[in-house]
């Protein structure tokens, strides 16, 4: 870490900061310039001493404290040095294959879910998505089918050979949702629900952590660190768009984050172009862009009749559009040295 002292600071102030750093276990090296003094401090584990380091910002004569190591450890790229592959009951996320996750925004009925599951499975999807517990901006909006929805998801997954991903919103529901889901989705609104993150950190079900809609990459990775430090290392991240000043799209899908994360973390990165754009006609183009830029998987909202969907119909694509999109995505995956499961021909 580097402590930049204010111009005109006193030797006593430099001494006080140096003393504190030594007590924290650092080897201290002050450099006295003509106008400024900086103190180099090496040897400490910054992420473990973050509160003590923050105190230094308030010390007399201190202008800035610059950390040179990352504030997260278990999710950092360097921690294992290569990409993590998460095995979801035989489906590997983070390997060569770009894993397709598809299904309705929310489970509405047996017929809606099973029709979708059957067709997306045939088209090459590996994982069935669908909300049973839905986070809604309005309390008057549909809140999901709950346990009934979970049961349908599990049954549909079993019947069509798909793994299941669904959202868990509350600490008290983690056990219940884990019984039915192969991947626990933490939604954007809960990315900084630290109690929930700790709770899923305690279980062994893989977790997909969506990016908070206003979260910086570092905040997102620190949220993942909560899960990893609890002992659950089967984490994937999901870029689902962030809030910007542009209202035309529901969110702004941050494609650069997908590329940037490759050098920051070993965790696989899934992309959700449905919440990411809010517009069905943009789902195909952004899916292609996401695969091109290195996404390890896609999470796409597919509905048999999007115009009648209870939730997120405007951003849901039809089953036919999904079937048409798959070979196009496969071609892009192949062009960037990845595979994408080819449709099962019947």
Query: Following DSSP, what letter does each residue of 193-238 receive, concatenated?
Result: -HHHHHHHHHS-S-EEEEPPTT--HHHHHHHHHHHHHTT---EEEE
The answer to the question of residue 41 lying near ligand PEP (CB under 6 A) is no
102-131 binders of Mn ion (CB under 5 A): 105
Residue with tokens 């598809």: 102
Binding mask 239-268 for ligand PEP (x = CB under 6 A): -x----------------------------
Instruction: Please identify, using beta-carbon distances, which residue of 108 and 272 lies nearer to ligand PEP.
Output: 272
The answer to the question of residue 275 lying near ligand PEP (CB under 6 A) is yes
Instruction: Please identify, using beta-carbon distances, which residue of 61 and 306 lies nearer to Mn ion.
Output: 306
Specify burial of residue 229 (Cβ count, 10 A radius: 0-12, 13-18, 19+): middle
Q: Note the maximum CA span of the chain.
A: 80
The answer to the question of residue 312 lying near Mn ion (CB under 5 A) is yes
The answer to the question of residue 297 lying near ligand PEP (CB under 6 A) is no
**Cα–Cα distance measured from residue 206 to residue 135, given in angstroms and rounded to the nearest whole number:** 20
| Strand-by-strand arrangement of the 37-42 sheet | 27-32, 37-42, 2-5, 62-66
Binding mask 183-222 for ligand PEP (x = CB under 6 A): ----xx---------------------x------------
135 binds, among ligand PEP, Mn ion, none (CB under 5 to 8 A by kind): ligand PEP
Are 37 and 225 contacting, i.e. CB atoms less than 8 angstroms apart?
Answer: no
Are 60 and 13 contacting, i.e. CB atoms less than 8 angstroms apart?
Answer: yes
Q: How far is the CB of 253 from ligand PEP (least distance, A)?
A: 11
Binding mask 91-120 for ligand PEP (x = CB under 6 A): --------------x---------------
Q: How far is the CB of 67 from ligand PEP (least distance, A)?
A: 30
Helices first, then strands: H and E counts in the chain: 12, 14
| Contacting residues toward ligand PEP, per CB under 6 A | 105, 131, 135, 187-188, 210, 240, 272, 275
| Contacting residues toward Mn ion, per CB under 5 A | 105, 312
């Amino acid at each position: 870490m580097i402590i930049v002292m204010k111009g005109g600071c006193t030797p006593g102030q430099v001494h006080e900061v140096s003393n504190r750093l030594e007590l924290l276990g650092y080897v201290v090296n002050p450099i006295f310039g003509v106008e400024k003094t900086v103190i180099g401090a090496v040897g400490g584990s910054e992420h473990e001493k973050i509160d003590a380091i923050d105190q230094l910002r308030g010390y007399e004569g201190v202008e800035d404290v610059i950390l040179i190591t990352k504030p997260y450890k278990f999710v950092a790229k360097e921690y294992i040095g290569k990409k993590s592959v998460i095995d979801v009951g035989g489906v590997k996320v983070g390997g060569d294959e770009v894993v397709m996750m598809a299904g309705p925004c929310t489970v509405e009925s047996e017929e809606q879910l099973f029709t979708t599951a059957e067709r997306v499975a045939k088209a090459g999807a590996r994982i069935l998505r669908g909300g049973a517990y839905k986070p809604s901006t309005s309390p008057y909006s549909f809140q999901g089918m709950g346990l009934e929805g979970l049961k349908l998801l599990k049954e549909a997954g079993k019947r069509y050979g798909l793994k299941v991903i669904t959202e868990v919103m509350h600490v008290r529901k983690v056990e219940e949702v884990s019984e039915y889901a192969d991947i626990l989705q933490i939604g954007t609104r809960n990315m900084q629900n630290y109690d929930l993150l700790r709770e899923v950190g305690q279980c062994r079900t893989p977790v997909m952590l969506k990016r908070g809609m206003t979260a910086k990459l570092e905040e997102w990775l620190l949220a993942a660190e909560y899960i990893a430090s609890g002992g659950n290392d089967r984490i994937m991240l999901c870029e689902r768009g962030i809030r910007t000043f542009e209202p035309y799209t529901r969110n702004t899908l941050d494609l650069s984050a997908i590329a940037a994360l490759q050098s920051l973390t070993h965790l696989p990165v899934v992309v959700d172009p449905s919440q990411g754009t809010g517009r069905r006609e943009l789902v195909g183009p952004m899916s292609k862009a996401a695969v091109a830029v290195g996404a390890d998987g896609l999470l796409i909202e597919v509905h048999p009749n999007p115009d009648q969907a209870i939730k997120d119909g405007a951003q849901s694509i039809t089953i036919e559009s999904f079937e048409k999109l798959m070979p196009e995505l496969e071609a892009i995956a192949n062009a960037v040295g990845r595979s994408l499961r080819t449709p099962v021909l019947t």
